[in-house]
């Protein structure tokens, strides 16, 4: 009955989102109510569980998501992303254009949420395609592979950041492990795989031909790259410092700065002046960009909070502990199990964020029961959530329409690239497990 109830919850969620086209947040709330009833939770306690799940999830994530959106939007609007792309192109040259773009995608993709990053960076890809006269898929896929990998594996992106919270993982440690896994993953799924796609020739739609800012309006390269990498730099430095403390309590100031919400606030303040005020923008212009950025992530915030509500229903009904006991009897490594559940939900539902957060609610008790590294489980679940993007994923259609591709070519390029990222992520997690 336990597995039947959980399967019903997931099936209803899939039907509401994919078939009936319900708003994802509304679908999560309806499924949370249904799940509470199926799992024997008293009717009068269901609203309190939903509210607690939403509050606990957003309490630790809201500042990270909003500040991250603000930085990403300013990086794009100020021309910082364009500047990084131009410098990488000049440094690597046309012969190594894919390596230039994969590095750009990785650097710029850290503060940019995926859908925002796609829409804002694809015009940069097309500007290069029009200049160097190379196949658009060959040129663009490496950058998008980097964006996808950072989206699935690296905080402060919504899904891995939320997974860190739900699985009680360490944000800095997860980021450090994620970067180790991301580098070979991006190389294989990006430049290496893209080299097999030179035969796909298509002309990107003229509608998406970008407006490029003149050089004299662009910020400096060091300023641009520092703004993009500042949140990651602070988090890595504080994490490494804390690892070197040998169990001693870290200084109060260091612990304050290392708190993700505070380090994102510091990064926003730096970006405000470095890419805004010092580049001639008025404060109200920068604040208008920040206000606009909230629209880009509002639905993501609602999806994350809805997933938190469903997780709390699982916890309060006691099903999480029962599920952990049942899963312990399966002859599968916990990390592989987490990846597999996430991959199955991803294929069924399309959304990487929904797949990752739904899996977290199911797999969290198993992490505690088996002593599995929460940070590695975040990365395993995150990798699974990227598996085989197809027609029920908005990213699939974004890529197809922007690059003006047939269904066949979209499957053999985009879908295969996402699958490579997912499988390489799992391999990286399993390898890291042997060394930590």
What is the token pair recorded at 94? 């046309």
The answer on pLDDT for 374 being more than 80 is yes
- Mean pLDDT rounded to a whole number for the chain: 85
Specify the residue for token string 């029962």.
322
Between 28 and 331, the more confident residue is: 28
* Three-state SS sequence of 294-358: HHHHHHHHHHHHHHHHHHHHHHHCCHHHHHHHHHHCCCCCHHHHHHHHHHHHHHHHCCHHHHHHH
DSSP code per residue over 7-41: HHHHHHHHIIIIIS---HHHHHHHHHHHHHHHTT-
Asked if residues 181 and 153 have their Cβ atoms less than 8 Å apart, the reply is yes
How much is the pLDDT for 383? 97
Q: How confident is the model at residue 393 (pLDDT cuts 50, 70, 90)?
A: confident
Q: Is the pLDDT assigned to residue 326 strictly greater than 70?
A: no
pLDDT score, position 282? 95
pLDDT of 328 > 60? The answer is no
Contacts of 407 (CB under 8 A, 6+ apart): 400
CA separation for the pair 213, 52 (Å, rounded): 46
DSSP3 helix / strand / coil % (the chain, rounded to 5): 80, 0, 20
C-alpha separations of 44 from 20, 305, 355, 406 in Å: 28, 21, 28, 51
User: Of 247 and 433, which is predicted with more confidence?
Assistant: 433
Q: Lowest-confidence range among 66-70, 127-131, 147-151?
A: 127-131
Residues 6+ apart with CB under 8 A from 212: 82, 127
| Structure confidence at residue 325 (pLDDT) | 61
User: What digits encode the pLDDT tens for the residues 85-96?
Assistant: 788 778 888 888
H/E stretch holding 1 reads: none
H-type alpha helices, 133-220:
136-153, 158-166, 171-187, 193-194
pLDDT, one tens digit per residue, over 336-345 is 999 998 998 8
pLDDT at 209 over 60: no
Nearest to 205 by CA among 105, 136, 121: 136
H or E segment and range at residue 259: none
Residue 112 has pLDDT above 70, yes or no: no
Domain regions of the chain by residue span: 2-433
pLDDT at 315: 78
Q: What tokens appear for 227 in the block?
A: 């703004």
Question: How many CA atoms lie within 13 Å of 417's alpha carbon, on the beta-carbon side?
Answer: 31
Q: Evaluate whether 398 touches 357 at the Cβ level (below 8 Å).
A: no
């Amino acid at each position: 009955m336990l597995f039947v109830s959980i399967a019903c919850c997931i099936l209803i969620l899939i039907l509401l989102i994919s078939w009936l086209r319900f708003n994802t947040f509304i679908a999560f709330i309806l499924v949370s109510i249904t799940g509470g009833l199926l799992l024997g939770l008293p009717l009068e306690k269901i609203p309190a569980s939903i509210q607690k799940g939403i509050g606990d999830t957003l309490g630790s994530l809201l500042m990270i998501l909003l500040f991250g959106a603000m930085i990403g939007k300013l990086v794009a609007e100020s021309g910082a992303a364009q500047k990084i792309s131009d410098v990488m192109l000049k440094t690597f040259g046309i012969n190594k254009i894919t390596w230039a773009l994969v590095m750009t995608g990785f650097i710029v993709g850290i503060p940019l949420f995926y859908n925002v990053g796609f829409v804002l960076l694809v015009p940069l890809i097309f500007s290069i395609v029009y200049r160097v006269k190379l196949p658009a898929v060959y040129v663009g896929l490496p950058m998008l592979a980097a964006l996808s990998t950072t989206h699935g594996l690296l905080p402060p992106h919504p899904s891995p950041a939320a997974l860190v919270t739900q699985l009680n993982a360490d944000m800095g440690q997860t980021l450090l492990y994620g970067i180790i896994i991301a580098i070979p993953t991006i190389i294989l799924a990006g430049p290496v795989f893209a080299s097999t796609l030179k035969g796909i020739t298509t002309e990107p739609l003229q509608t998406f031909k970008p407006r490029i800012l003149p050089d004299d309006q662009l910020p400096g390269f060091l300023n641009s790259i520092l703004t993009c990498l500042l949140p990651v730099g602070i988090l890595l430095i504080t994490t490494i410092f804390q690892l070197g403390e040998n169990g001693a309590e870290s200084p109060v100031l260091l612990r304050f700065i290392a708190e993700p919400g505070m380090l994102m606030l510091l990064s926003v303040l730096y970006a405000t002046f470095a890419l805004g005020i010092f580049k001639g923008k008025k404060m109200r212009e920068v604040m208008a960009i920040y206000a606009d950025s909230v629209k880009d992530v509002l639905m993501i915030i609602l999806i994350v909070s809805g997933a938190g509500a469903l997780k709390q229903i699982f916890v309060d009904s006691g099903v999480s502990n029962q599920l952990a006991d049942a899963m312990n009897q399966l002859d599968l490594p916990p990390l592989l199990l987490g990846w597999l559940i996430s991959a199955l939900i991803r294929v069924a539902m399309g959304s990487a964020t929904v797949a990752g957060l739904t899996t977290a609610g199911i797999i969290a008790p198993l992490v505690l029961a088996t002593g599995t590294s929460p940070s590695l489980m975040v990365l395993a679940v995150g990798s699974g959530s990227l598996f085989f993007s197809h027609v029920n994923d908005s990213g699939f259609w974004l890529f197809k329409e922007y690059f003006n591709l047939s269904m066949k070519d979209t499957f053999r390029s985009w879908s295969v690239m996402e699958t490579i990222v997912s499988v390489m992520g799992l391999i990286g997690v399993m390898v890291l497990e042997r060394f930590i």
